[in-house]
Amino acid sequence: MHRGEWLAGGELAEVAQTSQYTCSMVLQELEKLEWCESTGAGRTRRRRLTNARALLDAWVPRWKRRIDNRTRWHVLADRPDLLLSGLTKKIDHAALAYPWAFTGSSAANVYAPLLTGTDTAEIIVPPGKAEEFAKALNLKRAEKGANVTLIERDGTSLQFRNELPDFPAYFASPIILYLDLLDGRGRNKELAERVLEKLGI
């Protein structure tokens, strides 16, 4: 997310919400791989990522091995193309006290339009919050005919979530959108590449 910017280890640790030791170890490995460069020494040492695509590609196999708690739900939608906006209104009305974010093909298609239409929604919620979230939105359990998938995750999945200028809802960061699209379904791989093009990676 901060590729090309010079960052000190402490700054990166704060942004990544992790320890300076962890950042130091990762940065040393990135330097060995020649995926980042550094300047200065000691407390003034700063680094910047120079090969974001290589780092992202290295992350992909690990991401695919994740085991997320996913539950499938259904909500009545008069028009499938308005599913995300309808869910956003319900979420706003529920005034939830914890973070959430749209991900998957529908979210990516809003961020980097490619598909003519999408009719499902995937939403990241914190661990243990799926049932509460579903109840707040009046979603119904549906193993068949589901149009909403709730994915329980924390950490990176909800970092850097943002609102898009023309769509006042929270979306997972473009990096998470990209990783979530690498699931082999439909045209998701093509859409994933479109996301990276928009990101400039």
Identify whether residues 77 and 167 lie together within a single domain. Answer: yes
| Domain assignment present for 64 | no
Q: Is 158 helix (H, G, I), strand (E, B) or coil?
A: helix
Could you tell me the maximum CA-CA distance found in the chain, to the nearest angstrom? 60
| Domain assignment present for 2 | no
Identify whether residues 120 and 39 lie together within a single domain. Answer: no
Identify whether residues 122 and 184 lie together within a single domain. Answer: yes
What the block records as the tokens of 157 is 């999945």
Identify whether residues 78 and 24 lie together within a single domain. Answer: no
Identify whether residues 35 and 118 lie together within a single domain. Answer: no
Element (H, E) at 168: strand 167-171
CB 124 within 8 A of CB 151: yes
Secondary structure (DSSP) of 72-123: EEE---SSGGGHHHHHHHHHHHHT-SS--EEEHHHHHHHHS--SS----EEE
pLDDT above 90 covers a percentage of the chain that reads 68
pLDDT the model gives residue 171 = 96
Identify whether residues 92 and 44 lie together within a single domain. Answer: no
Q: How many domains does the chain have?
A: 2
pLDDT digit string (tens) for 138-177?
A: 999 998 989 999 999 988 899 999 888 788 899 999 999 9
Q: Is 197 helix (H, G, I), strand (E, B) or coil?
A: helix
Element (H, E) at 175: helix 174-181
Identify whether residues 77 and 150 lie together within a single domain. Answer: yes
Question: Whole domain around residue 119: which residue ranges?
Answer: 69-199
Identify whether residues 73 and 35 lie together within a single domain. Answer: no
Q: Give the CATH number of the domain where residue 86 resides.
A: 3.30.460.40
At 181, the pLDDT band (50, 70, 90 cuts) reads very high
Which residue did the predictor score with more confidence, 127 or 15?
127
What one-character DSSP code corresponds to residue 38? E
Identify whether residues 42 and 86 lie together within a single domain. Answer: no
pLDDT the model gives residue 166 = 82
The sign one gets for the Cα dihedral 107, 133, 184, 177 is positive
Identify whether residues 172 and 120 lie together within a single domain. Answer: yes
**pTM reported for the whole predicted model:** 0.91
Identify whether residues 45 and 140 lie together within a single domain. Answer: no
| Domain assignment present for 58 | no
pLDDT the model gives residue 123 = 97
CB 73 within 8 A of CB 152: no
Segments of 5-116 assigned E as strands:
7-8, 36-39, 46-49, 69-74, 101-103
What the block records as the tokens of 75 is 């909500």
Which residue did the predictor score with more confidence, 1 or 146?
146
pLDDT digit string (tens) for 52-108?
A: 999 999 999 999 998 999 999 999 887 877 899 999 999 999 989 999 999 999 999
pLDDT the model gives residue 17 = 86
CB 46 within 8 A of CB 8: yes
pLDDT the model gives residue 108 = 94
Identify whether residues 21 and 87 lie together within a single domain. Answer: no
